[in-house]
Amino acid sequence: MSDHSIRGLYVITARREWDRRDIVACVRLAIDGGARVVQYRDKSSDSLRRLEEATALARVCRERNVPLIINDDPELAHNCGADGVHLGKEDRTIREARALLGPAALIGVSCYDHLERARRAEAAGCDYVAFGSFFPSRTKPDAVRAPLELLQRAREALRVPIVAIGGISPENGRRLIEAGADALAVVEGVFGKEDILAAAQRYARLFRDG
């Protein structure tokens, strides 16, 4: 199991065709603003660019002592030197990912609105679970919605860290932390803003002031 702690602002990269900002520079700003976990998420088929970007991000995150998680792709996580992988319901199993990445890798699992899925993931050896969407999300507008009380039940039932995701803002994030979330996963709320540094600082402040 990794020494990295899953707590605080958990940023997830977003690629937009109209946004030409350099992804590595954007992630640096997010970390400077207080991000404590970075997930590289890119669903494109450009495997060479994905490897180049992920490798560059792994280097930056290593320098800043922030874990880099790769979305959905254990092979890419292995090849770029990331700290772990995040798995959805259509992805590889925890056992398969662990066999490829080793015992020190961070493996997270999307559990949507299902506490039982989280129980099974914990029993299978995951390092953290994620629930959501808790609020309407521009990134995944059709995502299943999770009730706030799910975090409270999960806090009582699980030992692994809990990540909340979906439409989270600096205004509603504190409710999720108080309900039991260890980390808040944010896409548009950070990378969709012109001032990434300031956006990250607003979320990070929720954990310092809580």
HSE of 44, CA atoms in CB hemisphere, 13 A:
14
Which residue is catalytic, options 41, 59, 64, 120?
Answer: 41
- At residue 116's C-alpha, the angle toward residues 152 and 162, to 5°, is 45
- Annotation says 28 is catalytic: no
Kind and range of the H or E element at 171?
none
Question: 38: which strand partners?
Answer: 11, 68
Locate tokens 């919605």: which residue?
A: 145
- Annotation says 95 is catalytic: no
HSE of 193, CA atoms in CB hemisphere, 13 A:
20
Which residue is catalytic, options 15, 117, 140, 193?
Answer: 140
In the chain the beta strands, taken as DSSP E runs, fall at 8-12, 35-40, 68-71, 84-87, 106-112, 128-132, 162-165, 183-186
Which residue is catalytic, options 7, 110, 133, 202?
Answer: 110
CB 129 within 8 A of CB 154: yes
- Annotation says 36 is catalytic: no
- Where in the sequence numbering do the catalytic residues fall? 41, 110, 140
